[in-house]
Amino acid sequence: MLTSDQVRATADAIAARQRPDGRLPWHTEQHTDPWNHIEGAMGLMLGERFDAADKAFEWLLGSQRPDGSWAQSYAWDGTVLDPDADTNMCAYIASGVWYRFLLTHEQSFLDETWSAVEKAIDYVLDHQAPTGEIAWMHHANGTIDKRALLTASSSIYMSVRCAVAIAEEMGVQRPDWELSIGLLAHAIRERPDRFWPKARWSMDWYYPVLTSVVHGDAAQARIESKWKTFVVDGRGCRCVADRPWVTTAETVELVVALHNAGRIEDATRLFEDVQFLRQDDGAYQEGWVFPEDVCWPGRTPPWTAGSVLLANDALTETSAAWNIFRGDDLPQGLGTEEVQEHLAQSHAQRVQSA
């Protein structure tokens, strides 16, 4: 595991890559996206760089659009690069805000960010289908790509649970959000046909376990099903099944999923395996190509470093927020019977309308 000095060095490396306005781009002269920006900010907090993390939140609040969304990406100079809205990226603010509250318990921070969180989650859940899954993309021209991504929907599941926790702290009741959690969980667990097939990508394999939508025996079975497909002994986790590279972020996210599933030995070994990609300044290479034995594509993104710190924290159970991905203390949403009743009512209404 990382020492406290190594954690601080990695947080300092994230801060060193931050733009003056608070953005955390992928790399020099490259873009910023809201999801990875927040992942980097969470890493900053673990290294006690709250000054830089708060600057990251300031940029996030300042760049939110009136409808509650963010652009999919922003150019190096801060202008909008891709104006489309990715629903998962928009939802992740709730995870970042709740993470900071778990670490500091500063009510004033929730007061400052609540409006942005509420607008973002309402925007995202406006894209939820009656069967629970969430459309992944709202294009700037107004059209919506209604395909749902399993990885994105799993991440949104965690973010909405965090949003309900924030609402409860604010004294606000959002039963509609709780219903959305239940519907989304039902779709992920029971309706794989509702999601765009992306079996080549390791994230679709482990994300339901990472975000604790799937747990217990089902989580164990899911991990076992593709372990040999994606895990490269001694190196890490492949990003894509049929490509010869491992990536730091996917590897350490799998570490958290394994920890959630109680596979501590596997999680620890995998975390140690990927440390060969740590740089002298505490940053981490994005990936490694194993036939040529070289780092690829040569970037050291803040979000990669942030994901390493989050995995280290989960494994060591150090901070007050270590179990956010396991979700032990997060609201569960509505139960199976209530969700089934809602689905039956929605189906009856659609039949009647037809």
Token duo for residue 109:
């921070």
Q: What is the largest CA-CA distance in the chain?
A: 65
Q: How far apart are CA 304 and CA 215, in angstroms?
A: 25
Q: CA distances (Å), 262 to each of 200, 209, 236, 310, 311, in order?
A: 25, 11, 19, 17, 14
139-153 pLDDT tens trace:
999 999 999 999 999
Q: What is the pTM of this model?
A: 0.95
Domain holding 132, by residue range, is: 4-353
- Encoded amino acid at 313, one letter: D
268-306 pLDDT tens trace:
999 999 999 999 999 999 999 998 999 999 999 999 999
| Across 321-349, average pLDDT | 79
Residue 108 pLDDT more than 80?
yes
Residue 348 has what pLDDT? 58
In which band, very low, low, confident or very high, does the pLDDT at 345 lie, cut at 50, 70 and 90? confident
Those residues with Cβ within 8 angstroms of residue 214's Cβ, 6 or more apart along the chain or in another chain:
188, 189, 208, 222
In which band, very low, low, confident or very high, does the pLDDT at 333 lie, cut at 50, 70 and 90? confident
CATH number of the domain to which 102 belongs: 1.50.10.20
11-68 pLDDT tens trace:
999 999 999 999 999 999 999 999 999 999 999 999 999 999 999 999 999 999 999 9
SS3 string, 107-125, reads HHHHHHHHHHHHHHHHHHH
| Across 92-118, average pLDDT | 98
Q: How far apart are CA 95 and CA 162, in angstroms?
A: 6
Look at the chain and report how many structural domains it folds into. 1
Of 327, 333, 70, the C-alpha closest to 187 is: 333
| Across 338-352, average pLDDT | 65
Residue 321 pLDDT more than 80?
yes
Q: How would you label 186-209 residue by residue, b for 16+ Cβ within 10 Å and e otherwise?
A: bbbeeeeebbeeeeebbbbbbbbb
Residue 351 has what pLDDT? 54
Those residues with Cβ within 8 angstroms of residue 153's Cβ, 6 or more apart along the chain or in another chain:
88, 133, 134, 184, 187, 188, 195
Q: How far apart are CA 28 and CA 30, in angstroms?
A: 5
Q: Characterize the bridge pairing of strands 231-232 and 236-237.
A: antiparallel
